[in-house]
Every structure is written in C-alpha cells, then in structure tokens.
A and B are shown apart, each in its own frame.
Chain A
Amino acid sequence: GQNIDQPTEMTATEGAIVQINCTYQTSGFNGLFWYQQHAGEAPTFLSYNVLDGLEEKGRFSSFLSRSKGYSYLLLKELQMKDSASYLCAVLLSGGYNKLIFGAGTRLAVHP
C-alpha cells in the first residue's frame, strides 16, 4: 500500500523558520514533490527531490532521505503570504508521472 504522513496543521510567527515534515511508505519511488496551495486556488510547484540531501531555492529548502522515507520543507523568514497548505507528493515508478499525495499541512503565519 501507499502511505504518506504529514502534520495536519502548524502555526508560526512572521519572520520565523518552520519545518514541515513528510514521511512516506510507497511501492516504488522516483522522487518527492512539494506543492503550495492557497485556499481556493490550484496547487503550485515548490520543489522536487530525487537524491538525498538538501535543495535550496530562495527562502524555501527541501530535504530528502530515501533510506528513512523522510522529507521536510523548510521555510525561512516567514511572511504572511506563506499561510497556505503544503502538499507532499511521491512520484511512483512506472512512468506517466503518477503522484501519490499526502493530506497536506495547513500553515498559519501570525504577525
């Protein structure tokens, strides 16, 4: 079976750092995506990791450990506009770009 776990909700303060964790158990693995979704809007791509380690992109970084089935998304210098849901998704083997999504983590950033 396929299982992806991430916290349901998190809160943080403007200017702070927050880490959103994702653990997965899937039959096949070809990489892990993070998407951001503001309320009522489409998910938008944030990052993709296929090799172990940290990928940095501006204020956002994503980490992957394939041996542990673990990833995290790190958001630095939080801004109010970062209040959104963050979706972890595993790309399965077998082509066709098939993704399995976690339930998402709703992040609320407070002043």
Chain B
Amino acid sequence: DVKVTQSSRYLVKRTGEKVFLECVQDMDHENMFWYRQDPGLGLRLIYFSYDVKMKEKGDIPEGYSVSREKKERFSLILESASTNQTSMYLCASSQGQGVSYEQYFGPGTRLTVT
C-alpha cells in the first residue's frame, strides 16, 4: 500500500521562527511536491523536486525553501514564519515523468503561525 507521511498533523509556531515540515514517501517515486491549501483558493504549488538535490519553484515559492537530500524525503522550510503562512500544507509524490501518473498525497500539516 502506497504511503506518504508528514511529520506533524498540527503545528503552532511563532512569527519569525524557522519551521521545518518533513515528508517521506515509501514508493520510490522520483517526483515530490509541496502544496498549501487555503479555503477558496484550492491547492497551490510551492515547490517540487524531480530528483535528489533537484528543485523547481512552483507558483508561490516566496518565503519558502526546500531540501531533498534523499529520494524518499522532501522538506519544506519556512525561513522566518509569518502569519500569512498559516495554512494546510500537503506533500505529494508521483512516479517518473509520464503524463498519466497520479500524485499520492500525505495527510497534511495544519500550521498556525501566531
């Protein structure tokens, strides 16, 4: 059974703190993605990675960075958390670069920045 796990379901941080969100997949997938989900806006892509140490900006990368040192792990970093980064963060992975490969999602991390 395919599995994407995220380090925390709920997280509360203070403004200015550095925040790490971890994602691990056990399917040997090449591609990994970080999204944020906000009411009325849907899922928006922050960053994605198609190989170890490779990363590409998504649609809203400002204020975020990522790290992929191992194939199974993709980390999202908020260098200095701000209240407008309060959101649900979803990690996903998919196999290869074929057009028909679905993305598998983790359960999400609800981050609150106070």
B-binding residues in A (CB < 8 A) = 4, 8, 30-31, 33, 40-45, 48, 50, 87, 89, 91, 95-104
Contact (Cβ within 8 A) A33 B108? no
Give 14 CB contacts A-B under 8 Å: A30-B99, A41-B107, A45-B102, A48-B102, A87-B43, A89-B43, A91-B99, A97-B94, A97-B97, A97-B101, A98-B58, A101-B35, A101-B44, A103-B40
What CA separation (Å) do A94 and B102 show in the bound complex?
A: 16
Total cross-chain contacts (CB, 8 A): 61
Name the 9 nearest CB pairs between A and B, nearest first.
A42-B105, A103-B42, A101-B43, A95-B97, A45-B102, A97-B94, A30-B99, A101-B42, A43-B105
B19 contacts A by Cβ under 8 Å: no
Note all chain B residues with C-beta closer than 8 A to A91.
Answer: 99
Chain B neighbourhood of A42, CB < 8 A: 4, 90, 105-108
Q: Per a CB cutoff under 8 Å, which of B4, B31, B105 touches A97?
A: B31
Taking the closest CB of chain B, its distance from the CB of A98, in whole angstroms, is 7
- Chain B residues within 8 Å of A33, by CB: 102-103
Q: Could you tell me which B residues sit within 8 Å of A by CB distance?
A: 4, 31, 35, 40-45, 48, 50, 56, 58, 90, 94, 97-108
Residues of B within 8 A of A31 (CB): 99-100
B103 with A97: CB separation less than 8 A: yes
Q: Are B103 and A99 in contact (CB under 8 A)?
A: yes
Q: Select which of B50, B94, B99, B104 is within 8 A of A50 by beta carbon.
A: B99
CA distance A42 to B38 in the complex (A): 14
